[in-house]
Amino acid sequence: MGVLRSVAACIFCWYGLASTLADAATVQVEHGSRHRAGLKSSLKAGLKSRAGVALRLKAAARATAGAGSKGVNPLSPNSDIHFLMQLLEKFHRFAVDGNAEADQRHVEEKVETSEAVAKANSTDVGLALQQTETLDDQSLVETKKVLGGINDFTHNMELALGAAYEATKGCAKIVCGPHASCTETTLGGQCICDEGFAGNGRDCHAPESFIPRKLLIEGGAGMKTEVADLHIAIFMGTKVVCAWRDITNANIGRVIIGKVPSGDVVWTTPERFTASSTSKAFAPQVIGLPSNRIAIAYRDAAKGGACWIRGAEIGISGLRGADSHLFWGEPFSFCQSQSHQMAAVGLGASRVAVFFADRVPATAKTPEIAFGNALLATIDANGATSVLGKKRFIDSPVVRIETTLLTPSSFVIACRTSKAVDEVDTELITRQEALAIYGEMDDSDLVFNPNSLSLEPEESQIWARGVGLVAPYTFGYAYMLGRERKLKLDVVHVDPESHRMKIDAGPKEVSKGVSPYASMLSYAYAPTDPHTFLYYESKGHSMINICKWRDDRLHKARHKALVGLQECEDFTWMRQPVHSVAAVALPGGRALFAFTTADKVPYYQIIGVSKK
């Protein structure tokens, strides 16, 4: 685009130069006219023809500017080249026609001037007319220089732009439909559907595998299963596991395994993961492990329920066609009085960390103590659960817990907790409603860095949140700022040595209005191509926000490092609100969403997240 502007500038510089030189030629003729006052009107006609050079140059430029893009798609990237080629052709024709006209007009005026010299009644008039002939000759030379320069310039510029124009002119007059772009092919310019869409170039739509599909195959007689609390995870590269609460069947817990080839998801038959047909499972959190095992943490009541974890190993029967069969271990209870959602991550080959709100009940002598707790467990062969221990990650009550892995053995916890009051100066208060805590697994223990980070130390009413890995030791933290009704995003860097955290970018305002969820995916593209991926709700639409993350500190050769979010874009992936939504990043620049509609029917959808 800058090159095209430079070319246009050069053309109009030539236009200005041509006008100036033509005006100079006119001045010379005018200078001669002062020596031949009273001559025939034919000499005045010669003067007007010289002065008309500048006017015709201006008219040519105006005509080209008005018609340069006629019939060309104004949105096409080739419309600028098309306009410049037309402009050059206009100037070329003007130079050729002007050169021939100048020669003809000069001959006519020379004849008229010679006749006037012969009829001169005094020596002074004759000398003046002869001087005018000399000025006319000089004016012709100057005019032909200007026109010759324009002709040479247009020829050289046409040679420079010709190859680019010929290669793209097939798309210059083509207007493509939504989700399509013009591409030069062996058959000329053709509309081709954009990446992630299918069709004939005119009618482009999401491919069949990208269209929402029901997660469950229902029976006859209009049977419909209602579900809630969907959660999904990916493991072993191409396997996914989805768990939910089955409302239709007395809130039992169900789970389904899927394989993700290059196209759609191939699901197995769902099965119950709760111990009995009367056991309930609220807000299940499912984890897939590299050892081909899964773990599910859940509570057995909406309020004041007990915490449970249950593991399973996949495909150990050895039977043909049973490679997705789940062999369950016994469920294990690890906490009581649970009313909030837990969060979980897989650590190493077979270990799981579960983060939850915990408390020690009050006694006659001590008050109740509320805190954030963590369970570390191993999912052994046959799905058996072995608890390695518990560890507090914060000594204050917590809610809205989310987590994401930083490395195979380290993680960050996002949560909301009570404000911190300085012990020395009680007026110094730090609000911790958008808190980040670093933790890691050290052998068979969990270790938490005491230097937590409060992203909004002066704000309250911070509601939904989500975290996702963006780059090595760098994660995104999205949160709903309730007081301002705004969704915001920060990018936080963790020092690999000290494990201290600092905000690298943000807060960036993503959306206005309340969203019931603010969730993030880790590594939406690849570790070498860092982007943030945030999904949320806005004005009744289900949205995705993607930003490129730039961190020049990785390139030590740069003197001034640039760090920040760039090229942020919002996409609508569903033109209606969804409920109980969860997503995971798949290989190949795709994301798998599981969600329910307003009538609580579960669906899944693959979305292409490849860059434009």
pLDDT in tens, 182-210: 887 766 788 888 766 778 777 787 676 67
pLDDT value at position 134?
72
Average pLDDT over residues 82-96: 75
Residue 462 lies in a domain: yes
Residue 478 lies in a domain: yes
Q: Which of 178, 202, 222 marks a domain boundary?
A: 178
For residue 476, the one-letter residue type is G
- For residue 176, pLDDT over 70 is answered with yes
Whole-number Cα distances in Å, 527 to 471, 524, 574: 6, 9, 27
pLDDT value at position 97?
80
| Of 210 and 391, more confident | 391
Query: In whole angstroms, what separates CA 101 from the centre of its chain?
Result: 58
Q: What is the DSSP letter of 209?
A: G
**CB-count exposure of residue 111 (10 Å: 0-12, 13-18, 19+):** exposed
Residue 95 lies in a domain: yes
Q: Which of 269, 313, 254 is nearest to 289 (CA)?
A: 313
Which residue is listed with tokens 């969730």? Answer: 519
pTM above 0.75, yes or no: no
Interatomic CA distance for residues 340 and 343, integer angstroms: 10
Q: Are 295 and 287 in contact (CB under 8 A)?
A: yes
Q: Which long-range contacts (CB under 8 A, 24 or more apart) does 561-570 make?
A: 563/504, 563/505, 564/504, 564/505, 565/489, 565/491, 565/505, 565/506, 565/508, 565/532, 568/508, 569/545, 570/510, 570/511, 570/543, 570/544, 570/545
| Peptide bond between residue 507 and the one before it cis (omega within 30 degrees of 0) | yes
Average pLDDT in the chain: 82
Give residue-wise pLDDT tens across range 527-538: 778 999 999 999
pLDDT value at position 112?
74
Residue 392 lies in a domain: no
Residue 53 lies in a domain: yes
Q: Which of 127, 155, 178 marks a domain boundary?
A: 178
Residue 432 lies in a domain: yes
Q: Which of 178, 212, 246 marks a domain boundary?
A: 178
Give residue-wise pLDDT tens across range 359-387: 999 999 999 999 999 999 999 999 999 99
Q: Which two tokens stand for residue 218?
A: 């229902």
Whole-number Cα distances in Å, 196 to 209, 520, 528, 611: 10, 21, 22, 10
Residues 6+ apart with CB under 8 A from 156: none
Interatomic CA distance for residues 196 and 610, integer angstroms: 8
Q: Are 479 and 468 in contact (CB under 8 A)?
A: no
Angle, CA 347 vertex, CA 346 and CA 351 arms, to 5°? 80
Residues 6+ apart with CB under 8 A from 4: 80, 81, 84
- For residue 462, pLDDT over 70 is answered with yes
Q: Which two tokens stand for residue 261?
A: 């080839």
Give residue-wise pLDDT tens across range 563-578: 899 989 998 999 999 9
pLDDT value at position 543?
95
Q: Count up the domains in the chain and report the number.
A: 2
Question: What percent of the chain shows pLDDT beyond 90?
Answer: 54
Interatomic CA distance for residues 527 and 545, integer angstroms: 18
Give residue-wise pLDDT tens across range 98-157: 777 877 777 677 667 766 766 777 776 667 766 776 777 777 777 878 877 887 887 777
- For residue 558, pLDDT over 90 is answered with no
Count of CB atoms situated within 10 Å of the CB of 51: 16
Residue 292 lies in a domain: no
Quote the domain boundaries for residue 403.
398-539+541-576
Which residue is listed with tokens 């002119």? Answer: 169
Interatomic CA distance for residues 343 and 356, integer angstroms: 7
Average pLDDT over residues 420-429: 91
Lowest-confidence range among 38-52, 342-356, 360-374, 539-553?
38-52
Give residue-wise pLDDT tens across range 38-73: 434 433 444 444 444 444 444 544 544 444 444 444
Residues 6+ apart with CB under 8 A from 176: 182, 191, 201, 202
DSSP states of 424-445 as a string? S-TT-EE--SSEEEEEEEETTE
The angle, 0 to 180 degrees and rounded to 10, between the axes of the packed helices 2-33 and 79-118 is 10
Lowest-confidence range among 11-15, 250-254, 302-306?
11-15
pLDDT value at position 16?
55
Q: Tally DSSP H helices, then E strands, for the chain.
A: 4, 37
pLDDT value at position 497?
96
Residue 251 lies in a domain: no
- For residue 609, pLDDT over 50 is answered with yes
Whole-number Cα distances in Å, 86 to 2, 10, 69, 133, 174: 19, 15, 9, 38, 18
3 state SS of 522: coil
Lowest-confidence range among 27-31, 278-282, 606-610?
27-31
pLDDT value at position 74?
47
Quickly state the pLDDT bin for 316 (edges 50, 70, 90): confident
